């Protein structure tokens, strides 16, 4: 059963130097055409009867880059396909400085109950280097608006391992973020991705990240300070107060099904993964001609599903449930991975706690090494 939906809005007022997501400069006419196509895509996939969704996540790009009329139209489109009143977690991504009271009142009226806020760093100089439009004061101004409209479930994004960022610099950002005492924090180590400004600079030798030892120090500091603040780590990159863990992201880490709507969006449906077209003209054209924007579908075998269950589930602090794994796939983890589990336990990278297999703090430092042990050979099934 599919009870989650991701909806991609690819427009931005400015393209950040590190971002490799599907994104385009905001254009009012193009945004109108895109919303037409998005409405058609969702209607064709879901039907005209509203469906229950446990979680809805509207990401980007920057959904709040839309003007007021377009934002309301998007919210109406979502409400036409999904029963937003019964939705447990309805998230909008947003950038500081792009909110006003009218946009917030629209989100509130149409049932949005969670904001994912792209803060990134509490340092105006660093924000400029990242190509961000907002400044630190915009964060505080918007948080006051969130309080005014009673948005209590707010998450902020932080990036560390930035060019020219010191351990002390990240510590200042982290302590500023913790002082806000928010219920959820998502944190990411900067990855220099192809087709970004940072990648071009890196290739020319004009940009360097902190060395691995410094990044490891930043990560260790992050985990320790969040724990002391009462926002413990529940996934490799995410921290939350009890009850505020992201239900939508847990859909991914629990390897459950979800719709993916919009240009470049990925979906996970029974037996297959889907990827949508990225270029906006092609996305819009195909949706109007065929009712979908699928570039390609990839069948997912039972072996691949089990591998992904381990990769994704081990990202969570709780780990992977042995009983749930066997119930879902008909195989016991202990039988499939006996040698691998023994090896990883000897390395102190994996531990068992009752029904759960989970990665250790030491294992998180060698995540890729741990995950590759759970690749299956054909003759293992």
In angstroms, how far is CA 84 from the centroid of its own chain? 20
Sign, CA torsion 44/46/47/53: negative
State the chain's mean pLDDT as an integer.
Answer: 94
DSSP tag of 210 = P
Per cent of the chain over pLDDT 70 is: 99
In the predicted structure, residue 72 carries a pLDDT above the cut 90 = yes
Q: What is the structure's pLDDT at 379? A: 66
Report pLDDT digits (tens) over 217-255.
999 999 999 999 999 999 999 999 999 999 999 999 999
Report pLDDT digits (tens) over 128-147.
998 888 999 999 999 999 99
Per cent of the chain over pLDDT 90 is: 83
The residues spanned by each domain of the chain are 4-253, 319-380
CA separation for the pair 251, 254 (Å, rounded): 5
DSSP tag of 87 = -
Sign, CA torsion 142/144/148/149: positive
In the predicted structure, residue 14 carries a pLDDT above the cut 90 = no
| CATH number 3.90.1300.10 given to 4-253 | no
Residue 277 — left, alpha, or beta (φ > 0 → left; ψ -120 to 50 → alpha)?
beta
Report pLDDT digits (tens) over 168-214.
999 999 999 999 999 999 999 998 888 887 778 878 888 788 898 99
In this prediction, residues 117-134 reach a mean pLDDT of 93
Instruction: Identify whether the C-beta of residue 276 lies closer than 8 Å to the C-beta of residue 194.
Output: no
Beta strands in the chain (DSSP E): 4-9, 11-12, 24-25, 55-60, 89-94, 114-120, 154-160, 184-189, 233-235, 238-240, 259-261, 266-269, 272-276, 294-299, 320-321, 350-353, 356-359
- Residue 187 pairs in a beta bridge with 158
Of the candidates 193, 304, 273, 188, the residue with the CA atom closest to the CA atom of residue 235: 188
């Amino acid at each position: 059963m599919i009870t989650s939906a991701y909806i991609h809005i690819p427009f931005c007022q400015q393209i950040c130097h590190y971002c490799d997501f599907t994104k385009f400069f905001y254009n009012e006419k193009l945004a109108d055409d895109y919303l037409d196509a998005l409405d058609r895509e969702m209607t064709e996939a879901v039907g005209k009867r509203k469906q229950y969704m446990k979680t809805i996540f509207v990401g980007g790009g920057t959904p709040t880059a839309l003007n007021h009329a377009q934002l309301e139209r998007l919210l109406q489109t979502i409400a036409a396909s999904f029963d937003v009143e019964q939705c447990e977690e309805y998230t909008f991504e947003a950038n500081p400085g792009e909110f006003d009271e009218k946009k917030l009142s629209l989100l509130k009226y149409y049932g949005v109950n969670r904001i994912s806020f792209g803060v990134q760093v509490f340092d105006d100089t660093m924000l400029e280097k990242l190509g961000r439009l907002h400044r630190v004061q915009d964060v505080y101004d918007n948080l006051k608006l969130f309080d005014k409209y009673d948005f209590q479930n707010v998450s902020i994004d932080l990036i560390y391992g930035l060019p020219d960022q010191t351990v002390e610099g990240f510590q200042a950002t982290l302590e500023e973020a913790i002082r806000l005492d928010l219920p959820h924090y998502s944190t990411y180590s900067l990855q220099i991705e192809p087709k970004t400004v940072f990648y071009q600079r890196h290739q020319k030798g004009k940009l360097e990240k902190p060395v691995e030892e410094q990044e490891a120090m930043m990560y260790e500091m992050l985990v320790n300070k969040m724990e002391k603040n009462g926002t413990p780590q529940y996934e490799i990159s995410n921290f939350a107060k009890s009850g505020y863990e992201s239900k939508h992201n847990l859909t991914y880490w629990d390897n459950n099904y979800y719709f993916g709507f919009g240009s470049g969006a990925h979906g996970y449906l029974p037996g297959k993964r889907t990827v949508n077209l990225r270029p906006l003209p092609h996305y819009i054209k195909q949706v109007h001609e065929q009712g979908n924007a699928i570039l390609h579908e990839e069948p997912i075998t039972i072996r691949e599903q089990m591998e992904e269950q381990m990769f994704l589930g081990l990202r969570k602090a709780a780990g992977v449930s042995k009983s749930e794994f066997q119930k879902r796939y008909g195989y016991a983890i202990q039988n499939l991975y006996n040698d691998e589990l023994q090896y990883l336990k000897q390395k102190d990278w994996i531990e068992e706690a009752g029904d759960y297999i989970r990665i250790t703090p030491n294992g998180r430092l060698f995540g890729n090494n741990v995950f590759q042990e759970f690749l299956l050979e054909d003759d293992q099934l």
